[in-house]
Amino acid sequence: MKVFLLSFMMAVCISSFGQRAAVSKSKPSGIERPKLVVGIMADQMRWDFLYRYYNRYSSTGGFKRMLGDGLTCDNTFIPYAPTVTACGHTCVYTGSVPAIHGITGNAWWDYEKNRTVYCSEDKTVKTVGSSSSAGEMSPRNMLTTTICDELKLATNFRSKVIGVAIKDRGGILPAGHSANAAYWYDTKTGDWITSTYYMNDLPQWVKDFNAKKQADVFYNMGWNTMYPIASYVQSAKDENEFEAKPFGNEQKGFPYDLKRFAGKNYGTIASTPFGNTLTMLMAKDAIINEEMGKDSVTDFLAVSFSSTDYVGHAFGPNSIETEDTYLRLDKDLGELFDYLDKTVGKGQYLTFLTADHGVAHVPGFANENKLPGGAVDDNKLVSDLNKLLAEKYKNNNLALSAYNYQISLNHAIIDSAHLDKEDIMEDVIRFASKIQGIDRVFAIDELMEQPMNAVAKERIANGWHPKRSGDVQMMFAPGWIDGGKTGTTHGLWNPYDSHIPLVWYGWNIKAGRSTDEVYMTDIAATLAALLQIQMPSGCVGKPIQAVMK
């Protein structure tokens, strides 16, 4: 019997070894990676914009190219709230959530510092490229690594990583802690800048780019629709009272005369589609001058197109301005892909396109069309709340902010005056609960006890960080935003804010369409699997199987 067992075990071992050997022989001798990864963020792009304007996108543009030759994940969601720019860019590249990576908003009340903190602020560094303070930025507030950091680690820091965006947070946070550079736009000077976190002087190619004053060229062109305005049937009529007026109250619709901003106001370019074109041109210059994708070591270019967000905030998702901005972005993406084909090689680069968040309808538009929605003035909310609390507790400024749909209380005054925090929170909850458009208000530490939808509960929990979040959570009714009478915004868990596009294109990507539900946090995990590198240090996502096939 013992002889039989021994023979059987030996046979199993030999068989297993043979199977392992067969598997190992089928593996490639070396790790295959693309020459360049290009991450593309379209700030505030709703998922439906891929298809809403599909028939108007050019066959040589970017969107149809990606949708036709790439893989689209049509059910991609953001798994946390608040759905805002800094969180979105960070989550895509870290594969994590605010509860872990610490970027809980574009800004937050920081209880350790006892003040408002901007997401990428860093007073220990200086501006490089201008004399303004716009360059006092770095990724140090981000608590985890990004996929770009992990690529640097995997190649012993031989990979080149660069971030480019008009918004500082759109370039800095994705590129990560170990990036070679991040460049953003100084609205005071019209120049692309960086900080001493990365370097002490701008490269000559950036100086040359700045010398062109490209923004002035676009200003002198003005902004009219690409096609006859009557053909924009997917959008509401031009000129609406509920739209903001970023170019002056006298300019109520197309065409927009921008000449008066030339040489004077460089920030306005961001509220036109030409801010995206400016970003695309900067990205092209980075590719060629930094020789990205030119050797055997994979590089990473993180590009964020910010103007879609500025235009969307001002005019809303149903405006001709937004439609025209996406038609122009389509052309910009097509030009970028053509350039990559020529400089890096078709099929030699991997790219993905996604968004940091979506956007709600402008409340005025919603009401005009009998849809639910409205606006809550959060500044007035804090002001009125402080008046009520001061009258009762004889102390001013007990409510510090309403950042990220959370009311932060003044712990320093509450402690020093020996006030009862629980009583104050109950007063805050009673007050905010009476405001139209606010559905629920509760102490954030009682989140798990709230009888509410599991999806909403999980997303709020994923957005909460103990040192960078508020005390009292507000949940707005569907269609309601924090803001005023014009324009719109985003930040909630609802699909219009959290359902985002995700399209993969290029190296080793097979054309197709997937309706599996996946999440923003899965992007970094998928990149890690494709590149065969470690996931970022706070990653909670999983590789998307449709991409891996």
Summarised one tens digit per residue, pLDDT across range 298-333 is 999 999 999 999 999 999 999 999 999 999 999 999
Tokens of 135: 């360059």
On whether the CB atoms of residues 76 and 339 are closer than 8 A, the answer is: no
Please give the full DSSP string across 412-440, using - where no structure is assigned: HHHHHTT--HHHHHHHHHHHHHTSTTEEE
Give helix 147-154 / helix 85-94 axis angle, nearest 10°.
30
Q: Is the pLDDT of residue 424 over 90?
A: yes
- Position 30 scores a pLDDT of 79
On whether the CB atoms of residues 470 and 404 are closer than 8 A, the answer is: yes
Q: How many CA atoms lie within 13 A of 414 on its CB side?
A: 15
Distance CA 297, CA 216 (A): 38
- Position 1 scores a pLDDT of 39
Question: Which one, of 462, 378, 351, lies nearest residue 39 by Cα?
Answer: 351
Q: So what's the architecture of 36-368+495-548 in CATH?
A: 3-Layer(aba) Sandwich (3.40)
Question: Which one, of 59, 42, 139, lies nearest residue 94 by Cα?
Answer: 139
Q: Is the pLDDT of residue 349 over 80?
A: yes
The answer to whether 85 is a known catalytic residue is yes
Q: Is the pLDDT of residue 412 over 80?
A: yes
Q: CATH assignment of 374-477?
A: 3.30.1360.150
Within the chain, all domains assigned CATH 3.30.1360.150 are found at 374-477
Within the chain, all domains assigned CATH 3.40.720.10 are found at 36-368+495-548
Is 14 or 294 the better-scoring residue by pLDDT?
294
Question: Which one, of 79, 130, 77, lies nearest residue 540 by Cα?
Answer: 79
Distance CA 2, CA 295 (A): 59
Distant-in-sequence, close-in-space partners of 328: CB < 8 Å, separation ≥ 6: 226, 273, 276, 277
Tens of pLDDT, residue by residue over 60-105, are 999 999 999 999 999 999 999 999 999 999 999 999 999 999 999 9
Rounded mean pLDDT of 464-491? 97
- Position 21 scores a pLDDT of 37
Tens of pLDDT, residue by residue over 235-276, are 999 999 999 999 999 999 999 999 999 999 999 999 999 999
Q: Which of 72, 76, 83, 85 is catalytic?
A: 85
Tens of pLDDT, residue by residue over 173-186, are 999 999 999 999 99
